Amino acid sequence: MSSKKNKSKSVVYQEFGNTSNSEALERSVPDLPPKQQNIRVQASRSGRKGKTVTMITGFQQSPDSLNKLLKKLKSQCGSGGTMKDDTLEIQGDHRQKLVKLLDDLGYKVKISGG
């Protein structure tokens, strides 16, 4: 009879090598200076039951620096928000305020959409 130790460590099938190396699986994102990034700010209501969310896209930064920026922007707008796939979402329509804040931080910002 086989012991529980052997069952938990046995691999039946593995197609792409060793997946325990998490550093190799992480996506490397260069932290570009703000002047080299083209940021788009737009308001969206689709898929949110009619509630407006301001979406900020175009960042080329690490998730840690994006989280710090998100925290700063949320506090300046006085609302909540989240980060989904390198896109920052701030609750409410804060396009004008966010464009000014990001421009003050040195980003090249444009409002997109209607």
| In a domain? residue 65 | yes
Task: Dump pLDDT digits (tens) for 45-59.
Answer: 988 888 999 999 999
Number of separate domains in the chain: 1
User: Could you tell me the residue range of the domain that residue 54 belongs to?
Assistant: 30-111
Kindly report whether the global pTM for this prediction surpasses the value 0.95: no
CATH code where residue 75 lies: 3.30.780.10
Alpha helix stretches (DSSP H) within 1-114: 4-9, 22-25, 63-77, 95-104
Distance CA 114, CA 105 (A): 24
Q: State the angle between helix axes of 63-77 and 95-104 in degrees (0 to 180), rounded to the nearest 10.
A: 120
Task: Dump pLDDT digits (tens) for 56-111.
Answer: 999 999 999 999 999 999 999 999 999 998 899 999 999 999 999 999 999 999 99
The residue with tokens 């090249």 is 108
CA atoms within 13 A of residue 71's CA, in its CB half-sphere:
6
